[in-house]
């Protein structure tokens, strides 16, 4: 029978000592009691330890003095929670050594503690990678190149995935499993998995191609096939585009890498082109005056590039005379473009109303050529002939 810890101190009666030394489910009763008390105290101590770490985080002079530093971003996360758990788990390991636990129980007990320790250690490293991502994002925003602005979030996500995978493998390694043998065994199924994940692999390589080729930036207005909107995020598998009716389109990166992308966001100027149809009855002098006044009105807008303004009568259509109106706006967003385009188009309507220039609409005139001797003969042939009595 295992010796009772307080047996020599004679703190308990003989009967109680026998009861405490009695083995109950692998361990002596006194060890069960000590273990339960220790775990309870540890859990009661955890909020206190977490509060202490939180106070240290709040009053950290480095994070306050150096804005946008690694510690500043790191302490934005609840770093005190996993730190408190790690401290408590280390105390529980010390309790294990103090009680000299043995047998199968201690194996499972330590496995459980190692799993929790690994989980919270992964959380801390995960937060650290996020904090470094914010630091590098700040540095990337100061450079002229836009490629690093897309590369930093992508690299941050990749490293976080690597941290989770490697942390999980290290936890398995701490359990006594041979991770290398396990990975080698999984290699046989890797081929089948790769065949099943062809689309995923294609999307991953597509995302790398997008980052390297850099056809657009986050925030650019792009057109892909019949889809149009503002790029919100470039992920591992897909690119998210916010449409102008405020929905989100998710396009696989494999498709984005091989499709033609019309990047409207890199235009130095926004071209406006409109063909106005006026009635054929409009006099030539009126057409010239209309074009001159529209051209002058367009140039009054401060966003219009004056040298690009074209307003000319340029063609005959089936039911209208075509007046080409074309100019470029020096604006940066689609909203600005729509506002200035609307103001100019309304001004054109006002000019047309003042000059009494009518806008044409699709019409068709049908000419019927009737009458004449041939028609009378045709009518006689169609009448029934009289029979003799």
The residue written with tokens 């057109």 in the block is: 223
- What pLDDT score does 28 carry? 66
Average pLDDT over residues 42-71: 80
User: Does a structural domain hold residue 260?
Assistant: yes
Q: Which residue has the higher pLDDT, 193 or 177?
A: 177
201's enclosing H/E stretch is helix 198-213
Mean pLDDT check: name the lowest of 66-80, 280-294, 337-351.
66-80
For residues 41-51, average pLDDT: 88
Specify if 5 maps to a domain.
no
8 domain-assigned: no
Cα–Cα distance for residue pair 291/323, rounded to 1 Å: 8
Comparing 19 with 133, the larger pLDDT belongs to: 133
Whichever domain contains 286, its CATH number is: 3.30.70.100
In this structure, are residues 338 and 297 in contact, taking their beta carbons and an 8 Å threshold?
A: no
Range among 8-12, 84-88, 385-389 with highest mean pLDDT value: 84-88
Question: Do 68 and 145 belong together in one domain?
Answer: yes
CATH number at residue 245: 2.30.30.60
Please check whether residues 137 and 30 belong to one and the same domain: yes
On whether residue 113 sits in a domain, the answer given is yes
Q: In this structure, are 230 and 324 located in the same domain? A: no
Are residues 244 and 289 part of one domain? no
Q: How many domains does the chain have?
A: 3
Q: Does the residue 369 lie in any domain?
A: no
Query: Do 258 and 278 share a structural domain?
Result: no
- Structural domain that includes position 58: 14-196
Higher per-residue confidence, 76 vs 286: 286
- Which residues, at least 6 apart from 150, have a Cβ–Cβ distance to it below 8 Å? 210, 211, 214, 217, 218, 234
Q: What value does the mean pLDDT of the chain take?
A: 79
Lowest mean pLDDT of 208-212, 294-298, 326-330, 331-335, name the range. 208-212
**Rounded Cα–Cα distance for residues 294 and 351 (Å):** 7
Q: Which two tokens stand for residue 220?
A: 């650019």
Alpha-carbon dihedral sign for residues 214, 218, 220, 223: positive
- Please check whether residue 206 lies inside any domain of the structure: no
Stretch 378-382: mean pLDDT, rounded? 49
Please determine, for residue 130, whether its predicted confidence score (pLDDT) is greater than 80: yes
Contact 224, 256 (CB under 8 A): yes
In this predicted structure, the answer to whether residue 221 has a pLDDT above a threshold of 60 is yes
pLDDT digit string, tens, across residues 252-286: 888 888 888 888 777 778 889 999 999 999 999 99
The verdict on 259 and 125 lying in the same domain is no
Assess whether 167 and 25 both reside in one domain: yes
Residue 246: DSSP 8-state: S
């Amino acid at each position: 029978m295992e010796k009772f810890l307080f047996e020599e101190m004679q703190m308990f009666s003989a009967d109680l000592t026998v009861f405490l030394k009695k083995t109950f489910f692998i361990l002596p009763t006194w060890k069960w009691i000590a273990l339960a008390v220790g775990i309870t105290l540890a859990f009661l101590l955890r909020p206190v330890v977490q509060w202490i770490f939180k106070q240290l985080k709040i009053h950290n002079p480095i994070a306050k003095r150096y804005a946008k530093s690694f510690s500043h971003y790191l302490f934005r996360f609840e770093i005190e929670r996993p730190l408190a758990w790690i401290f408590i788990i280390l105390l529980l390991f010390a309790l294990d050594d103090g009680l000299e636990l043995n047998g199968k129980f201690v194996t499972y007990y330590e496995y459980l503690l190692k799993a929790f320790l690994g989980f919270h250690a992964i959380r801390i490293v995960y937060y650290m990678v996020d904090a470094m991502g914010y630091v590098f994002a700040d540095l990337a925003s100061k450079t002229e190149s836009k490629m690093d602005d897309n590369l930093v979030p992508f690299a941050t996500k990749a490293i976080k995935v690597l941290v989770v995978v490697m942390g999980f493998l290290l936890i398995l390694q701490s359990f006594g499993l041979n991770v290398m043998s396990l990975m080698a065994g999984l290699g046989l199924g890797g081929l089948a998995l790769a065949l099943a994940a062809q689309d995923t692999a294609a999307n991953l390589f597509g995302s790398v191609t997008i980052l390297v080729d850099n056809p657009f930036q986050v925030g650019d207005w792009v057109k892909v096939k019949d889809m149009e909107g503002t790029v919100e995020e470039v992920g591992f598998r897909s690119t998210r585009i916010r449409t102008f009716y405020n929905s989100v389109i998710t396009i696989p990166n494999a498709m984005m890498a091989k499709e033609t992308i019309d990047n409207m966001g890199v235009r130095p100027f926004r071209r406006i082109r409109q063909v106005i149809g006026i009635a054929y009855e409009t006099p030539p002098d009126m057409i010239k005056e209309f074009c001159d006044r529209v051209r002058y009105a367009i140039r009054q807008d401060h966003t219009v590039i004056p040298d690009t303004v074209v307003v000319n009568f340029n063609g005959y259509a089936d039911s209208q005379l075509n007046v080409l109106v074309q100019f470029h706006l020096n604006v940066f967003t689609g909203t600005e473009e729509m506002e200035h385009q609307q103001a100019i188009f309304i001004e054109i309507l006002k000019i047309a109303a003042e000059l009494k220039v009518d806008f044409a609409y699709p019409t068709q005139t049908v000419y019927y050529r009737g009458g004449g001797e041939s028609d009378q003969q045709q009518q006689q042939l169609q009448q029934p002939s009289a029979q003799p009595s």
